Amino acid sequence: MTVRPGDVLLYRPTGLYGWFIRVKTWHPIGHVEIAMGNGLSTASRDKQGVNYYPTRTSDLAYVLRPAVAFDLEAAQRYVSTMIGMPYGWWDLANFVGIPVDSKGIVCSPYATLVLRAGTVPIFAREAANLIAPFQFLDSELLIDVTADVLQERAA
């Protein structure tokens, strides 16, 4: 089973901001990206902002698959409107209860909006800017396929 478009890729924390997210959310997940196919994922990466990036497997902790259909074309249309948006350094304060709405976006609100654009109604009752990376693990709309994906990669 390979990574498919719409899969949620959760990563262990790396670097200063990954550490900050881990400490302030009390969870070992520091980053999230959405697989978009053809070896690419989309994310808001620190120091780089929103774009398509080669899907990375280093520090990958979980692969979660939407339990409902993911509309890749609709998600791609949304991503095209967001490319170039800077990483929202100040938005990290939302994770500790300090409301901030900067001119950028961090990974988990962005991933939430990409999934919603792709017709996955994730965290429908919550504001996207308040979603932390670990919360994807608690969504009933996502199925953990980590073992299957990692087993296939090892083979």
- Mean of pLDDT values over 43-69: 93
What angle do helix axes 72-82 and 107-117 make, rounded to 10 degrees? 140
Dist. CA 142–CA 7, nearest whole Å: 9
Domains of the chain by residue range: 8-149
Q: How far is CA 35 from CA 52, 72, 80, 94, in A?
A: 9, 10, 15, 25
| pLDDT tens digits, one per residue of 16-30 | 665 655 555 556 788
For domain 8-149, is the CATH number 3.40.50.720? no
First to last CA, the chain: 11
Residue 106: partners with Cβ closer than 8 Å, 6 or more residues away:
44, 87, 88, 91, 92
> pTM of the entire structure?
0.86
| pLDDT tens digits, one per residue of 74-128 | 999 999 999 998 887 666 655 556 566 678 888 999 999 999 999 999 999 998 8
| pLDDT tens digits, one per residue of 117-147 | 999 999 999 988 888 888 999 999 999 999 8
Name the phi and psi angles at 13, rounded to 5. Answer: -65, 140
